Chain A
Amino acid sequence: MLAYTLKRLLVAALVAATVSFMSFLLLKLTGDPAAALAGESATESQIAFVREQYGLDKPLLVQYAHWIARALQGDFGESPYFKQPVSAIIGGRLGVTLTLGGCALVFAVALAIPLGVLAAVRPNSWIDRLALTISVLGQAMPSFFFGLALIIVFGVMLRTLPISGSDTWRHFILPAIALGYYATPAFMRLTRSGMIEVLASDYIRTARAKGLRPASVLFKHALRNAIIPVVSLAAVQFGFMLGGSLVIETVFAINGVGFLGYQSIARSDLPMVQAIVLMVSMFYVVLTFFADLLNAFLDPRIRVH
């Protein structure tokens, strides 16, 4: 287990380094950040001043080394828009995004696992078809459209739920549904196929033959084993959600990191954008690292490979 952990840790660190360099490079090479920072009406000398001010005239690798060294200490520079440290602004918004992601994950799991189990117990029944329909629709509807449709139905027609902001827990219901719905198909398919496989296994036959109650067989013996891959999928999906919450936060005007990222892109707040891209990527790297470890811990066969 230790060897496996160290190996995964090394890979995660390498990925983190590569991704940080790529996100740094990407935003450097796709335009003149100095010109973008200085604004559209800036003169040549103003642009040159900005370039010097932000160290944009130095070689790329030097800039990267400088940026990442400070980033590791939590210092992402100052946002030219807020005139405040980037990390302080992001820190203030992180809680909202994590709450939203958490709620979305809970919604997705709470919808997907029961449906997946029922679909596996009765394949090709109406409930299986319902589960399939939900998952096919979930993959087809664009998230922004689903979010807006929720706003129209629950916020405007029924007037039951707030449609923007993040003041109370009720503000999180609609965005969490909109964000979580997209993770539902993956959870449902995995639960269904896992359950079908487990239900056909010998130990389930034994449990049934012993005369255990069907519910006990289903939940204690089958679901427990089928749910192992779902746990690591949850980690990965949570990582995706943090990236995908940009669209949902923008639709519902939630002051989280995603909305901040969108606004920062729109106002060319480069230090902010870089910091957010890096942060979301790092979240994903860390989450998948723990998911891998968890998988290896639960299933010893993985450690050998």
Chain B
Amino acid sequence: MPHLIPEITYPSPRRILMRRTRAHKGFLIGAAVLLMISATALLAPALAPFDPYHQDLSRRMIPPVWHATGGWEHPLGTDNLGRDYLSRLVYGARISLLIGGAAMLISGIIGTTLGVAAGYFGGRVDMVVGFLITARLSMPVVLVALAVVALVGGSLNVIIWVLGLLIWDRFAVVMRASTQQLRGMDYVNAAKVIGCSTLRILGSEILPNVLNNLIVVATLEIAHAILLEAALSFLGMGVQPPLPSWGLMVAEGKEFMFFSPWVIVIPGTVLSLLVLAINLIGDGIRDITAPEGRA
């Protein structure tokens, strides 16, 4: 009688993750918005109805389509130089995503290296890294970034490097704490005992197990870098005109905002939406991979 007891099958870990992902509304919304904005950035040349740099002074400050005087030719209107707002917005997505991603990579490499080293080796290394983190946190990010960009000049490269070198602190803090928890695990000790090199232990025992936390911090830092770039550009010391950065668009629209609020509301809203989407994804990944309750 072989089949008396029904076979009990457990869902695979991947299955569980998929189920949690599908049930997490915030994550899904964030992912959808981010996908849309990324697709817009990639397909910018195809999607933008006009050249984002083309000025037409006879078509200045046309309001968007939902205004009485707006029209479908320029769905989001034009700016004070007669450039199509929708086209500038579409190309602006490239700048935000590029700077956010690149600055996150730089700060991620610095912060993860420092944090994992501090957490794994402890002792003096930990003290030095802890000291570096405190010193870094004491320096006002916006002020220092502004000053450096103003002195060096605001090219995309400079902004990426300045931001990348400034915002590694959260990577270091989180990676240090995560690594500390793993250091005493049996499988790490086992790897030590069978003679694995330190590099191998870090690479194949520690890193895969801190990856979830790393991804969460990485998404939050992309959002952080995007906000900082927008602030720098808004203050006139980030991305330089005529590049269509969303922060810069708000700055350029500022003097017209009393009569035409949409010139700042449109880029400001899109910027908030992008950051919101990325944050939702970050929070979502944390909930999905570690559902022990949100902090």
Which A residues have a C-beta under 8 Å from some C-beta of B? Answer: 11, 14-16, 18-19, 22-23, 26-27, 30-31, 36, 136-137, 139-145, 148-149, 151-152, 156, 189, 193, 239, 242-244, 246-247, 250, 258, 261-262, 265-266, 268, 273, 276-277, 280-281, 284-285, 288
Contact = CB atoms under 8 A, between A and B. Distances in A.
Contact of B264 (A11, A26, A148): A148
Contact of B142 (A23, A149, A243): A243
29 contacts: A14-B131, A18-B135, A22-B139, A27-B147, A36-B151, A136-B279, A136-B283, A139-B279, A142-B268, A142-B275, A144-B235, A144-B247, A145-B264, A148-B254, A151-B257, A152-B261, A152-B264, A189-B295, A247-B235, A258-B143, A261-B146, A265-B150, A265-B237, A266-B237, A277-B139, A277-B140, A280-B143, A284-B140, A288-B137
Nearest to B130: A11
Interface of B is mostly: helix
Nearest to B261: A152
A51 to B, nearest CB: 16
Nearest to A264: B147
A293 to B, nearest CB: 15
Contact of B152 (A30, A151, A262, A276): A30
Interface string B275-292: 110011001000000000
A145 B268 contact: yes
B102 interface: no
B206 to A, nearest CB: 23
A23 B139 contact: yes
Output the residue of B148, B150, B236, B271 with the most chain A CB within 10 A.
B150
B257 A262 contact: no
Contact of A281 (B140, B151, B250, B257): B140
Contact of A26 (B134, B147, B276): B147
Given A142-B234, A152-B261, A261-B143, 15 more contacts: A27-B148, A136-B280, A139-B279, A144-B250, A145-B264, A145-B271, A145-B272, A152-B258, A242-B140, A243-B143, A247-B234, A265-B147, A265-B237, A281-B139, A284-B137
Contact of B231 (A18, A247, A281): A247
Interface pairs A-B: 10 shortest CB-CB: A243-B140, A145-B268, A140-B276, A31-B151, A30-B151, A140-B275, A284-B138, A281-B138, A280-B140, A141-B272
B22 to A, nearest CB: 19
B151 A27 contact: yes
A242 B138 CA distance: 11
A15 B134 contact: yes
Contacts, number: 137
Given A140-B279, A273-B147, A145 B250 contact: yes
B28 interface: no
Contacts of A266: 150, 236-237
A276 B273 CA distance: 33
A19 B139 CA distance: 7
Contacts of B247: 142, 144
A246 B143 contact: yes
Contacts of A284: 137-138, 140
A189 B271 CA distance: 24
